[in-house]
Chain A
Amino acid sequence: MKKDNRFKNSLIMLIVTIAVLFVLNRILDDYKLRILNLCGIYITLGLSMNLINGFTGLFSLGHAGFMAIGAYTVAILTMPAHMKEMNFFMKPIMPFLANIEWSFLPALIMGGIMAGLFGFLIGAPVLRLTDDYLAIATLGFAEIIRVVFTNTQSITNGALGLKGIPASTNIWWSWGVAIITILLMVFLIEGSYGKAFNAIREDEIAAQSMGINLFTHKVMSFTVGSFLAGIGGGLLAALLGTIDPNMFRIVLTFNILLIVVLGGLGSIKGSVVSAILVTIAMEALRFLDESINLGFIELKGIAGMRMVVFSLILMGVVIFRKEGLLKEN
């Protein structure tokens, strides 16, 4: 009975969401559509990080690295040959990549797989670490990826970045992936494996004594999380059309962490709502960075003021409401 109800509610919710998206897709201008797209992408990214940090309790800060892998994979696989030639003027692209031109879906999946693969490979050594050590190691990994991408001129075009990536991401892609990710997370977390992840977060020793292999379960969660981060990165690349290694700095990981913590560690609903709110607020609070003219006095804008506001909110949340703003008790 309860299950039927839930199914009905979810279906209604899904139809309403699609209808709203359909209308918004019609009436919004390009700038606002872009924000709407970002909302969808950040839902995917927020959930992927919440799986690792919130549900499994692994303090990982490597998200930007996995996104970079996804983004570059999608970019290189979908860019037409002449576009690549234009981009790679310093040093030509490696021959076997020059003529590849995949359509968006397989490229996106490949982006996820590549990120997942790296998650798996990195996970094997670093997931033996705990807490702060894991955070430092994963942070280091993300930096390494960025530096490698800056220097592999013939694959990533180095610091010049890639321009003219086919703009395949639209509302249906970004939100379609977001909806699939939400469903995937709900099913995963409700299932036996998701509960095992939760058990690891709650008490590693007890979890292990109940027969849960800590290592394989951590790697599992980490790999799925990095796969989804790669997909998110791929969507982002195909939305922006331009990527370069400096996009994938720690600040990007911080933004996602902000979504996860504000929404509540271990809350799917929280991450979704907070992804939307934070993405919109990032744009809406842009005025803080610019000069404000109050008529009688003009306040000079301070670049980065937005992030100060967000950081203050974050500090407030961790001090006064650790379970997140949106998590129900």
Chain B
Amino acid sequence: MLKIENMTMRFGGVIAANKFNVDIEKGQIVGLIGPNGAGKTTIFNVITGVYRPTEGKVIFNPSEVERDITGLRPDEIAKLGICRTFQNIRLFKELSVVDNVFIGNHLIIESNVFSSVLKLPKYRKEEKEMLDKSIYLLEKVGLEDEKDSKAHSLPYGMQRRLEIARALATEPQLLLLDEPAAGMNPQETRELMGFIEDIKDEFDLTIFLIEHHMEVVMGICEEILVLDHGSLIAQGDPGFIQTDSKVIEAYLGVE
């Protein structure tokens, strides 16, 4: 589904990611963990086109066909089927909840701006489908009752769920979640875990997520990557990661 080959990202003298390699297979839930500042979000930013890597390649291959997506714009990458959420929630704050999800649909629209202004039948049909899909996704994340509220008026946990609904509206094949459980209580966290597995099955997704809650990572990820100072220090299933000495060192420090 996604391959990153020898990717290095430098900001001036700082190396945020160093010769990073990963190969994510279709249908997997892969976790990316590491201490603060390890370069996790940088990797997401490189995948989604926010940054162009200094070296290396990002390859997207949802089917047999491989496509080098290094250096494409974020909107082009979203159109190819990779969508994300943000660590520090970036909703369209002043817009309604349903509009936030509706906008996620915009990239698949075929009608042009003129047919939208003239409300031609083809556009109306598309708009209806987009709206129905938005409502469906809101039901999915349990926000249908809030659909007319402004996004910024929602409590934190709901904002996170809304961000996921918005990302799902773009019909991604690969979904990147940047700390989806941040700021959630244990109860919400458990619900979130179930929810992530649900949407993975329903929308046939591959999920790559950054998370600090070990419960989430160990609970739902089949494969875990551990990052420290921009380099990959360990990779494997949860059982392996928990006992790996390098991981323990990076997280807990050694005497």
Which residues in A have some Cβ–Cβ distance to B below 8 Å?
184, 187-188, 191-196, 198-199, 202-203, 205-214, 220, 224
A210 and B95 in contact (CB under 8 A), knowing A191-B116, A205-B90? no
Residue from B75, B93, B105 within 8 A of A208 (CB atoms): B75
Between-chain CB contacts (< 8 Å), 13 pairs: A191-B116, A191-B127, A192-B109, A192-B126, A195-B99, A198-B92, A198-B94, A198-B103, A208-B78, A209-B90, A210-B167, A210-B170, A211-B79
Residues of B within 8 A of A198 (CB): 92, 94-95, 99, 103
Check A211 against B75 for contact (C-beta < 8 Å): yes
* Stretch from B2-10, B57-65, B117-125, B139-147 that touches the partner: B117-125
Check B78 against A211 for contact (C-beta < 8 Å): yes
Check B127 against A192 for contact (C-beta < 8 Å): yes
B100 CB to nearest chain A CB (Å): 8
What is the predominant secondary structure among interface residues of chain B facing chain A? helix
Interface size class of B (residues with CB under 8 A): 35 or more
Check A191 against B123 for contact (C-beta < 8 Å): yes
Within 8 A of A (CB), among B108-153: 108-109, 111, 113, 116-119, 123, 126-127, 130
Check A209 against B48 for contact (C-beta < 8 Å): yes
Check B90 against A192 for contact (C-beta < 8 Å): no
A202 and B130 in contact (CB under 8 A), knowing A192-B116, A208-B74, A212-B103? no
A203 and B91 in contact (CB under 8 A), knowing A193-B116, A210-B170? yes
Q: A195-B95, A211-B83 provided; 19 other pairs, C-beta below 8 A? A: A187-B116, A188-B116, A191-B123, A192-B109, A192-B126, A198-B92, A199-B106, A202-B92, A202-B93, A202-B94, A206-B86, A208-B78, A210-B78, A210-B107, A211-B78, A212-B75, A212-B103, A212-B106, A213-B75
Residues of B within 8 A of A213 (CB): 73, 75
Complex Cα spacing A317 to B93, Å: 22
Measured CB to CB, the nearest residue on chain A to B79 is A211
List the 10 shortest-distance A-B pairs measured between CB atoms, nearest first: A211-B107, A211-B78, A191-B116, A202-B92, A206-B90, A208-B74, A199-B103, A193-B113, A213-B75, A187-B117
Measured CB to CB, the nearest residue on chain A to B102 is A195
Complex Cα spacing A212 to B78, Å: 9
B170 CB to nearest chain A CB (Å): 5
What is the predominant secondary structure among interface residues of chain A facing chain B? helix
Measured CB to CB, the nearest residue on chain A to B89 is A206
Check B75 against A196 for contact (C-beta < 8 Å): no
Check B90 against A203 for contact (C-beta < 8 Å): yes
Measured CB to CB, the nearest residue on chain B to A329 is B150
Check A210 against B103 for contact (C-beta < 8 Å): yes
B104 is an interface residue with CB less than 8 A from chain A: yes
B84 is an interface residue with CB less than 8 A from chain A: yes
Check A212 against B90 for contact (C-beta < 8 Å): no
Residues of A within 8 A of B126 (CB): 192
Residue from A193, A195, A202, A206 whose CB has the most chain B CB atoms within 10 Å: A206
Measured CB to CB, the nearest residue on chain A to B116 is A191
Check B117 against A192 for contact (C-beta < 8 Å): no
Check A220 against B104 for contact (C-beta < 8 Å): no
Residues of A within 8 A of B106 (CB): 192-193, 195-196, 199, 210-212
Measured CB to CB, the nearest residue on chain B to A323 is B94
Within 8 A of A (CB), among B37-95: 48, 50, 73-75, 78-79, 83-84, 86, 90-95
A209 and B74 in contact (CB under 8 A), knowing A192-B106, A195-B102? yes
